[in-house]
Chain A
Amino acid sequence: MADPKKYDNRLGLKGWWGGGRWGFERYAYTLHRLTGLGLITYFVMHILVTSSRAFGADAWAEWMGNVAGPIFHVGEFLVVLSFIYHACNGIRLILVEFGFVVGKAEEPIYPYKTSLNKQRPLLIVMMILAALFVVAMGYDYWMLH
């Protein structure tokens, strides 16, 4: 018998955002991926720009001039923000993914408490830490330079 026609209902990128009232960890997951992509983009640009030094001091000066505008200045701060978030959330994920803060299996009793409840204090601590780093770096970046 021929396979019946089916409609592919995979959510794609939309699935990263959920229905608008999902758990906080989903948004931490999505932001982690976006900041990761941002950092990779910066890394590629960084390699391209600094490699211009191989073509002499004039090429280096020209490239540095190209990336000295206010857009790149703001962009660099976004890289700092991405790095802080990615690092703080990454430390949480390393601990979670090695099973250290998700708790042991337990009898599910309604209303169910899951591993999300177990690791949430760590999530809150890491986000407060990230916020402190953002304030400190923001002060340094915008006020002292």
Chain B
Amino acid sequence: MSKQDTGARDIRFIIRRFNPETDEAPHNKEYTVRVEPGMTVLEGLHQIKGEQDATLVWRFSCRMGVCGSCGMLVNGKPMLACNSQILHLTNSVLTIGPLPNFKILRDLVPDLMPMLKNHIAGKPHIVREDFDPALTPTDEYYQTPEELVRFLQFSYCIKCGCCMAACPTMALDLDYKGPMPLAQYHRYNADTRDGGFEERAKLAGGTGGVVRCHYAGECSNVCPKGVDPARAIQLMKRQLVAGYLGLAKQQEPCGTIGPDPNARHREGVPPPPPFTIDRK
């Protein structure tokens, strides 16, 4: 039987390491891994941890590009380790580092809290004046498919932080909130169910808001989910300017359908479990 080329090859991994207990600054450490076709960067890291260096630390969870935990700088570009096949990136050397523009907690683990705090400040949920959606979660809203498309793209964000690491404004501007939180402000502002525009406009239009973005576009280039934060930020700028000039269309948040008066509980079907939150 003749030997077949399986496509497997040795790849040199150069990994940025930082241990806050012993190191003053990050340093590089090299490993060699036998890589099979189809093997992802995440699998390569697992192989190193399992066979060569158990002290290597990174963050991961779902292994399928959904959770956004394994964002890292691979060959100079922010990407998800689970989503990136090694042999698509290189035939010889792979450099891996933590996402830039965040503080490093350890090895490949960035501190995402500053980003998430700005995200939370923008109330990333439906805000209503007439009722609290958290207390009436079963009501359906009147929303057309066209209205859904206005924000659906931005709702795919998995908060991996790749956009923040790629943004050149983030690299120098300590006040800038960054593409991820700002894109999520627009995700809810563009939602016809939401009435929280005024609150978010103060954040988005204030210090470190959308005016600091000058469309380098890298956030959209590197987003592993096609969210296009650059588009969201520019659309929000237009919305904000129109609001300041009094040109914005005044529109109330869409209504809810409410409970069906004809709905009856069918016999033999067990009752639903009690609500887990206080419905006053």
Nearest-neighbor residue (CB-CB) of B24 within chain A: A7
**Bound CA span A110–B213, Å:** 26
Kindly identify, within residues 57 to 100 of chain A, every residue whose CB is under 8 Å from any CB belonging to chain B.
93, 96-100
Q: Which residues of B contact A9 (CB under 8 A)?
A: 26, 98-104, 110
**Bound CA span A19–B170, Å:** 15
For residue B200, CB closer than 8 A to chain A, the reply is: no
For residue B172, CB closer than 8 A to chain A, the reply is: yes
Question: Are B77 and A19 in contact, with the CB atoms below 8 A?
Answer: yes
Question: Are B214 and A105 in contact, with the CB atoms below 8 A?
Answer: no
Question: Are A114 and B215 in contact, with the CB atoms below 8 A?
Answer: no
For residue A56, CB closer than 8 A to chain B, the reply is: no
Question: Are A98 and B237 in contact, with the CB atoms below 8 A?
Answer: yes
Q: Which residues of A contact B100 (CB under 8 A)?
A: 9-11, 15
Nearest-neighbor residue (CB-CB) of A7 within chain B: B104
A9-B98, A15-B172, A29-B216 given; A102·B153 CB < 8 A:
no
Whole-angstrom distance between the Cβ of A16 and the nearest chain B Cβ: 5
Kindly identify, within residues 1 to 28 of chain A, every residue whose CB is under 8 Å from any CB belonging to chain B.
4-16, 18-23, 25-26, 28
A9-B100, A23-B218 given; A97·B226 CB < 8 A:
no
Question: Are B168 and A30 in contact, with the CB atoms below 8 A?
Answer: yes
**Bound CA span A104–B226, Å:** 14
Please report whether the interface of chain A is mostly helix, strand, loop or mixed according to DSSP.
loop
Nearest-neighbor residue (CB-CB) of B170 within chain A: A15
Q: Which residues of B contact A115 (CB under 8 A)?
A: 217, 220, 228, 230-231, 234
Q: Of residues A25, A28, A33, A110, which shows the largest number of chain B Cβ atoms within 10 Å of its Cβ?
A: A25
21 example contacts (A-B, Cβ-Cβ < 8 A) are as follows A5-B20, A6-B105, A7-B20, A7-B26, A9-B99, A9-B101, A11-B101, A11-B171, A12-B171, A19-B75, A21-B76, A23-B218, A29-B217, A32-B214, A99-B239, A102-B234, A105-B151, A107-B152, A109-B226, A114-B217, A115-B220
Binding site for B on A (CB under 8 A): 4-16, 18-23, 25-26, 28-30, 32-33, 93, 96-100, 102-110, 112, 114-116
Binding site for A on B (CB under 8 A): 18, 20-21, 23, 25-26, 75-77, 98-105, 110-111, 149-154, 156, 166-168, 170-172, 174, 190, 213-218, 220-221, 223, 225-228, 230-232, 234-235, 237-239, 241
